[in-house]
Amino acid sequence: SSTGTSSTTSSAVPTAADGSTLISAERCQQNRAAGKITFLTSYVFAASVGILDVVAADQLGYLKALCLDVELQPGSTNAQLVSAGTAQIAGLGSASDVMVARASDAKNLQSIATYGNQGAIEILTMGDSGINSLADFAGKTVGYKVAISAQFSAMFKDNGVDPSTINWVSVGFDPQILPDGQVQALGAFKSNEPNVLRNRGYDVKEWDPEDYGVRSTFNTQVVNTEWGKAHPTAVEDFLRASFKAYDWINASDANLDTALGWAKDRSEAGYDLAMSKLRWQTEVKLVKDSQPAGLALGQQSEDQWKPEADALVTYKLVPSAPSITDSQNNSFIDAIYGSDGTLIWPAP
Amino acid sequence: MSALTTTTPRRADRTSTGRRLGELAAPLVFFVLLALAWQWTAYHNRSLIPPIQAMVTDLSSRPDYYLAQLWETLQSALIGLVIGVSIAFALAVGIVHVRALRTAVMPVALLINVTPIVAISPALIVAFGFTRTPHIIVVAIVVFFPMLINATVGLSSVDPQAMDVFRTLSATKGDVLLRLRLPSSLPFVFAGLRLSASTAMLGAIISEFTGTSKGMGASIMLATSYLNLAQMWSMIFLSALTSLALLGLVAVAERMVIRW
Amino acid sequence: MSALTTTTPRRADRTSTGRRLGELAAPLVFFVLLALAWQWTAYHNRSLIPPIQAMVTDLSSRPDYYLAQLWETLQSALIGLVIGVSIAFALAVGIVHVRALRTAVMPVALLINVTPIVAISPALIVAFGFTRTPHIIVVAIVVFFPMLINATVGLSSVDPQAMDVFRTLSATKGDVLLRLRLPSSLPFVFAGLRLSASTAMLGAIISEFTGTSKGMGASIMLATSYLNLAQMWSMIFLSALTSLALLGLVAVAERMVIRW
Amino acid sequence: MTTSPADRHGIAVAVRGVEKHFTTRGSSLHALSGIDLDVPEGRFVTLFGPSGCGKSTLLRILAGLEASDAGEVELYGQPPAAASARKEIAWIPQTPALLPWRTVRENARLSADVNRTADRLGGSQRVPLDPDELLAALGLEAFADARPDQLSGGMRQRASIARGFAQGAPLMLMDEPFSALDELSREAAQLTLVELWERYRKTVVFVTHSAAEAVLLSDQVVVMTPRPGRIHAVVDIDLPRPRSSRLEETDEFAALVTHVKHTLRSGWQAAE
Amino acid sequence: MTTSPADRHGIAVAVRGVEKHFTTRGSSLHALSGIDLDVPEGRFVTLFGPSGCGKSTLLRILAGLEASDAGEVELYGQPPAAASARKEIAWIPQTPALLPWRTVRENARLSADVNRTADRLGGSQRVPLDPDELLAALGLEAFADARPDQLSGGMRQRASIARGFAQGAPLMLMDEPFSALDELSREAAQLTLVELWERYRKTVVFVTHSAAEAVLLSDQVVVMTPRPGRIHAVVDIDLPRPRSSRLEETDEFAALVTHVKHTLRSGWQAAE
Ligand SMILES: Nc1ncnc2c1ncn2[C@@H]1O[C@H](COP(=O)(O)OP(=O)(O)OP(=O)(O)O)[C@@H](O)[C@H]1O
Ligand SMILES: Nc1ncnc2c1ncn2[C@@H]1O[C@H](COP(=O)(O)OP(=O)(O)OP(=O)(O)O)[C@@H](O)[C@H]1O
Ligand SMILES: [Mg+2]
Ligand SMILES: [Mg+2]
């Protein structure tokens, strides 16, 4: 924590690194009343959107300057932890994850921001695998992480391939099993595994559900519903700080390197800086390329989630059609943007 | 003789019926209290644990799903159990005959026993692919140590005086093994089998966290990610009950085999 | 008398030096063979296991990192061990005095023992937050059962004839517990402690797979996701060696306490 | 066995009509039947009989370690539990049953360490003896600080006897304390016990299945027969005291041993 | 003990200059020193002495269960291992050591089930006996199909003796087989053994620390003294055969028992 440590007393409004005040005394009081906030990343301290920007917001002192006491934790069972109130804010993979969680036992959470408006996942095959169409997947072994995504099922089913003819196997996070031949195809993040494998000199082919008409999203931040209602300013200012940091990272290559250095410090070991940089850049591009007209970064709408909600019903991952309205709480994200769609900085 | 006190009959006789009732009642009362505490917690924190009726409903609404996962896991558990226990027993036979084998095998066995197997299981999948093999190996590893220790102790724990009789008869090593060591070891072997049987399902489930989409372990993983608490905890309880059933089977087998 | 054969001296005397050397050599040879097999596999399949020198290099290049994770995990393991073992022992004391307690506690203890704890640990984090508490609880649960069983058996395994002496003296329950049951139970308690100590680190590591970014478990998880084989396997071996060291400590304590 | 009116001691142990059954897995065993017995104070009385005739069971009932099904037991006019609460019964079991974590001296002191409330009760007939004095009398002074596992079997049994005497209880109950010793150590132990007893004159009920041992030690031998356990006869042993190893080679001694054995055999045949 | 030239039997057991040391944790114990012994064929010889004098050690050396440090042992002119390989030694241990998973009959048959190559060797002096006949002779016919845990201690010891005799070995080695029995069962077992032995006339080396048992059973009693274990004297027992329980009440018997005990005591005093 190199910056933003100017204030240690609880009553005074802290100032940012440049000495300016970022928040009113009254709002600062409200944010402090929220107490300690635990934020869970969606996947360790990876260089992903919704993670690296929060790390940077913390390191840059934005969070503290906005009178927020946030502890960052690598996530695990995020939906459960947020719904139970053990954590207050967390990242989830996509809008689908939010709706599935709400349909099961994590009813007590809502989405507060959606970063990407296209899917971030895809299937990889080796370039010379002889798999040239979706139909060729029948009978092949396909690795997935944790659970088979609805996007994959939809991609196959919408194009006339019965997903149950595929031999799905749950795999770890090492993509090497694809070139080693243990699986013929591998569920992957667009921003990670293709880069890793290409960097190792392999020729891989990508099967993007978006290309087959499957619409989805990636990285939504969720909040514990009651806690969010009780502390709206804290939620708003958390998002405000993240998105300010998001812009800061993208402002220069040097800033990105600095942010990656912070993530690496938190990861202690094994953090591949080059791959991580590529990962961030890929994801930012995915976010930018899919930004719907009229919506600012992170803003979400019913239309945007509709295709995923429909797919969940189609593939019976939820018992009944989920209410998108109830799944989203847009009051926070909408409050941090001005009428011109620019981030309100500093906080009121 | 009036000062002589009439001694009371043995307490065990007087209250044996009452005591037997008490023995049944105590665990029942305790289980009921536990169930109440469970329900209170479930209603208090909806995303921590599911209420009991949610598990019952889920189990009874799709028994074939649960049975299919159970059967999948049970197969790995049983095959791994048989393999691990057999290798351990064979090694124990070697150990009691070749002293050097003991000093060679035991440190390694001890090391394996204190290694976090769950961390190794991804490597096994890399090595053996997406077959049942890695899951069987994990089970075999976790059941190996208790059986090795118990079989070694059992095969060595022969009545020395009976051993003297065999030795004066110049009994062959095979005679001693078959007619003395093996039957003598049975109580220990069954004790080891009980320990092994209670970890076999655990090993299978942990190994199924990766490398498969079938079985109770995969189902628990899936339920965790979809936060399907009813499914998750039904599986957990089902696996615990299956382990208890395995333990019961071992106990029955023991009573049938050891009749002396 | 020429036909009388000279009996050979006892073999143990003749070859005791040779045998002792053999006892040292056997595990060494075995370990060297294992190391060679490891290296061969490591070079054969680069993404399966790391070569030994990669682990040594990683360990020696940042010993403080490893020590910090080790210390983090060891704290949870030791605190959990002390708590779990103490509760188990206290319950065992209750069980040998109150029969109903036995029938109430034992089935539940058995059930917990066959429950996949790794599946429960997320719920503990939900319940107790991102503190050391859930990790300590996992350790306490996994070390609980062996100590409960061994302490119960130990506290019950008093020489019945010594018990008769105490009873004719109208010794109080406290006398019997302190002066007879407790010392009699010590060999069993230490046997239980050995079992418990060998699982304490495993429990701590497994619990650290979720809910923390510190400790060996978190480090193994991180290494898995970044495919840092050297870190992953260094941690695995470090944890196994730490468990062995704990076992050694228990053995030393046992020899210091049980002097009869 | 009736108390002779000439006996100037009181009655230490009075048993009337004691019955005992054991029920194991449904089948019942009549272990003791119609036991009547008076042991005057300061007498050495031995229960003698074959294995399974109920000697240990009777002794355990006297000590309050086992409850009878019917009948009455009184020690110094009170139930066994009362005597036990005042630590007035010294129990010397078949095995030495020393506590292995205590030194020999600490073992001999055991009775002082437990049930301390008894020490505050008035009216006790107990006169605790100095453990070291007893260990010396039993030839164990050099081993007072040793742990039991450093002693031979015979020495351990002597330490157990020291523990019993150190308690200073007026009544001592001994259940075959020498049966695990080899013949030669056993003879030495018997002579030591005779000597100690002649010095302190406690009331002793002793159990054995050795006729020679019974005759050597006792004032009276109670001959028991099995199925169900009964008192067949009481043989008075009118050998002079103090007794020594030379006594065993006398014809009188041999005749009494033969007589005790015959008494047992006749009781057995009568029972069958 | 020298073989008399008049003896028409050969020498079954010949021992010359046997020495034995035990080393435990550094300290060495001289267990046997200068043992010379000849046992003629068909004789019942007893090793008698106090605990720790090396009786068991000597018997184990004869059986080949223990190796001596020096000296020579020969059974029928060959080393113990050769006799053992032909199953010509029957070993009857201190505990019955029956296999609990076998019935009494199966236990008695044990020698036929192991080391089957010995059955094909020629020149054996072994004459296996019918287990059922032996069980009948020992009063166990009704228990032939019972498991050992259903038997009393005395019956188990008889079953162990049946196993030894069934082997039909010319040499029988018995290490205190009756020491765990109570006095009365013990006497019955002794008489059964006397009877069986008088019927089959095997060469027996028997170990005991009971002088009466040694005198009742033996042709010769070898008196041993400890520290180090030595043969102090050999006492010939010239009591008539067949022997019965009545013999024990004769003066001759009592005199021999006293003599044996005295011999031991004098040896002990000499050793100290
Ligand atoms: N706790 C018990 N439960 C069932 N039966 C018992 C119990 N204690 C003793 N018996 C039986 O009661 C009978 C008498 O036993 P007891 O121990 O009093 O005999 P004993 O004369 O002391 O024999 P021994 O000389 O072998 O010690 C025996 O048949 C024995 O099996
Ligand atoms: N395996 C052994 N290791 C060390 N010392 C031994 C061993 N076997 C016997 N001894 C010692 O050798 C001596 C003789 O023992 P042995 O068993 O032959 O005596 P024993 O005459 O049979 O005595 P007992 O009548 O008690 O059976 C004893 O001091 C004993 O402690
Ligand atoms: Mg008895
Ligand atoms: Mg012996």
CA D59 to CA A260: how far, in whole Å? Answer: 85
Domain final residue, candidates B34, B49, B64:
B49
Alpha-carbon gap: D176 to the closest alpha carbon of chain B (Å): 25
Distance B9 CA to ligand 1 centre (A): 17
Percentage above 70 pLDDT, chain E: 95
Same domain for C65 and C191? Answer: yes
Q: Which residue has the higher pLDDT, A106 or B133?
A: B133
| C43 and C70 part of one domain | no
Q: In the CATH hierarchy, which fold is given to the domain comprising E11-271?
A: Rossmann fold (3.40.50)
Q: Which of E8, E11, E37, E41 is nearest to E201 (CA)?
A: E41
Q: Are residues C19 and C70 in the same domain?
A: no
Chain A positions touching B213 (Cβ under 8 A) are 144, 148, 168-170
* pLDDT for position D100: 95
C-beta of D24 in contact with ligand 1 (< 6 A): yes
My answer on whether C32 and C67 are in the same domain is no
Residue from the list B4, B8, B11 with its beta carbon closest to the beta carbon of D16 = B4
CA of D54 to the centre of ligand 1 (A): 6
E51 CB within 6 A, ligand 2 = yes
Q: Residue A312 and residue A104: Cα distance in Å, rounded?
A: 13
> Which ligand lies nearest to the CA atom of residue D27 in the structure?
1
Average pLDDT of span A24-38: 94
One domain for residues C78 and C119: yes
What pLDDT band is residue E123 in, cutting at 50, 70 and 90?
low
Torsion (CA) D154, D156, D157, D163 in degrees, nearest 10: 150
* CATH code at position B126: 1.10.3720.10
**Same-domain check for residues B82 and B155:** yes
In single-letter form, the type of residue at position C59 comes to L
> Does ligand 2 come within 6 angstroms of the Cβ of E94?
no
Q: What pLDDT is attached to residue C27?
A: 79
Domain residues for the domain of B9 are: 1-49
Q: Looking at residue A292, what DSSP letter applies?
A: P
Q: Do B181 and B57 belong to one domain?
A: yes
Residues D145 and D82: beta-carbon distance below 8 Å: no
pLDDT score for B10: 40
Do chains A and E touch by CB distance (3+ pairs < 8 Å)? no
- Measured CB to CB, residues of chain B less than 8 Å from chain E are 159, 161-162, 164-172, 175, 179-180, 183, 258-260
Residues of B at the D interface, defined by Cβ within 8 angstroms: 1, 3-11, 13
Band (pLDDT 50/70/90 cuts) for residue C213 is confident
The mean-pLDDT minimum among B123-132, C8-17, C202-211 falls in C8-17
Q: What is the pLDDT of residues A247-294, one digit of tens each?
A: 999 999 999 999 999 999 887 666 789 989 999 999 999 999 999 988
Average pLDDT of chain C, as a whole number: 88
CB contact under 8 A, C6 and E72: yes
Final residue belonging to a domain, choices C16, C34, C49: C49
Rounded to a whole number of angstroms, the distance from the CA of A151 to the nearest CA of chain B is 15
- pLDDT reading at A300 higher than 90: yes
Choose the weakest-confidence range: A94-103, C7-16, C48-57, D102-111: C7-16
Pair (C23, C74) in one structural domain: no
Please state, in angstroms and rounded to a whole number, the distance separating the CA atoms of residues C33 and C52. Answer: 13
Strand D171-175 to D89-92 pairing: parallel
Across A168-180, average pLDDT: 85
Q: Mind telling me how many Å the CA of D70 is from chain E's nearest CA?
A: 29
How many domains are contained in chain B?
A: 2
Instruction: Evaluate if residue B255 carries a pLDDT over 80.
Output: yes
Residue that wins the pLDDT comparison between D254 and B11: D254
Cβ–Cβ below 8 Å for B229 and A105 = yes
**pLDDT at residue E268 greater than cutoff 80:** no
Does C249 lie in the same domain as C127?
Answer: yes
pLDDT of residue C22: 66
Least confident piece of the model among A300-314, B174-188, E3-17, E230-244: E3-17
C67 and C179, same domain (yes or no): yes
Task: Check contact B-D (3+ Cβ pairs < 8 Å).
Answer: yes
Cα separation, C184 vs E70, whole angstroms: 44
Longest alpha-carbon distance in chain D: 52
Where in chain D are the domains?
A: 11-271
Rounded to a whole number of angstroms, the distance between the first and last alpha carbons of chain D is 23
Q: Within 10 Å of residue D241's Cβ, how many Cβ atoms?
A: 11
Chain-chain contact of E209 with D183 (C-beta, under 8 angstroms)? yes
Residue B164's pLDDT is 96
Q: Kindly state whether residues C41 and C147 are assigned to the same domain.
A: no
| pLDDT at res. E188 | 85
Nearest CA in chain B to D66: B10
| pLDDT value at A136 more than 60 | yes
Q: For each of chain D's 272 residues, which pLDDT tens digit applies?
A: 444 433 435 889 999 999 999 988 778 889 999 999 999 999 999 999 988 889 999 999 999 999 999 999 999 889 999 999 999 999 999 999 999 999 999 999 999 999 998 888 776 778 889 999 999 988 898 999 999 998 888 899 999 999 999 999 999 999 999 988 888 788 888 999 999 999 989 999 999 989 999 999 999 999 998 888 999 999 999 998 888 888 888 889 989 998 999 898 888 776 65
- Asked if D254 contacts D57 with a C-beta cutoff of 8 angstroms, the reply is no
Determine the average pLDDT of the residues in C27-39. 90
What local confidence, expressed as pLDDT, does residue A66 receive? 94
pLDDT of res. E6: 37
> B126 and A180: CB-CB below 8 Å?
yes
Residue A133 has pLDDT above 90, yes or no: yes
Average pLDDT, chain A: 90
- Output the CA D19–ligand 2 centroid distance in Å: 45
Say yes or no: CB of residue D55 within 6 Å of ligand 1.
Answer: yes
Q: What are E48's strand-pairing partners?
A: E208, E223
- Chains sharing 3 or more CB pairs under 8 A with chain C: A, B, D, E
State how far the Cα of A108 lies from the Cα of B45, in Å rounded to an integer: 10
Distance, CA of A227 to CA of A237 (rounded, Å): 14
Q: Given CB atoms, is A146 within the 8 Å cutoff of chain C?
A: no
Which residues pair with residue D56 across a beta bridge? none
The answer on pLDDT for B9 being more than 50 is no
The ipTM is 0.87
In chain E, the residue whose alpha carbon lies closest to the alpha carbon of C13 is E23
Residue C69 pLDDT exceeds 70: yes
Same domain for C59 and C45 = no
Question: Would you state the pLDDT for residue B18?
Answer: 61
Burial of residue B122, with CB atoms counted within 10 A of its CB: 0-12 exposed, 13-18 middle, 19 or more buried = buried
